[in-house]
Amino acid sequence: MTVSAFENIKRFFIRLGIGLMPYFPLPWEPYRKALVRDSEKRYESGRWDYMNDIAEAHRYSIIVGCCEYFTPSERRVLDVGCGEGILQKRMTYSKYVGVDVNAAAIASAQARGASHATFVVGDAAEGFQAAGSFDAIVFNESLYYIRNPVEVFARCRQSLSPDGIIVVCMFQTYLARQLWKKLRAFGMEELTTVKISNELGFSSVIRVYANSRVTARPT
């Protein structure tokens, strides 16, 4: 299919804007609130459905791959900002807890009736704490939706098992760059870093953290 000159120009400016986003300062709280409002509208209108498409499969595949590489097959998973539970559908686990502030997303996840999975409407910033310890804690493009992300990261870290990992994925913006710096200040082991992008140039970084050096699990 031939792409029109207008579409080519539009894509050029989209890519230019995306390329500048990691370097353009934005006020934290107004930006976070705008993201939350947009997320709520997307769930109401079904515009989050694209998360199930092939264009997003690589992100989930990498997150699942990291969990499979570093944690046991009967892994206990805490998914902070789980949305409709797409990650839960794509991985094996013995226990899965998904928490999200959006009630519509959680209702959709609960409707599947997945075994050994619990979905909770909760605000991580308001002190939500899942019971027990977890082999994998995942923040899949969710930290910048949270009012106090560094404090939430620190609190969730307390629930990490001795050989557990924390997987963080963030879309590359100026605020994400500031968050990465704050996460490094915890002094955790950074086990791997992966950068991914889609056809428009939207790029995200996935990093895996642990309290100490973790080796690959036997296959």
Nearest residue to 119 (alpha-carbon basis) of 167, 93, 82: 82
Alpha helix (H) residue ranges in the chain:
5-20, 28-45, 57-70, 86-90, 103-110, 149-157, 174-184
Q: Are 150 and 166 in contact (CB under 8 A)?
A: no
CA gap 110, 108 in Å, rounded: 6
For 104-161, write each residue's pLDDT tens digit: 889 989 998 889 999 999 888 887 888 899 999 999 999 988 889 999 999 999 999 9
pTM of the model: 0.82
**Which pLDDT tens digit goes with each residue over 29-87?**
666 666 666 666 665 655 445 555 666 788 899 999 999 999 998 999 999 999 889 99
What does CATH list as the number for 27-210?
3.40.50.150
Domain ranges in the chain are 27-210
The whole-angstrom separation of Cα 100 and Cα 125 is 11
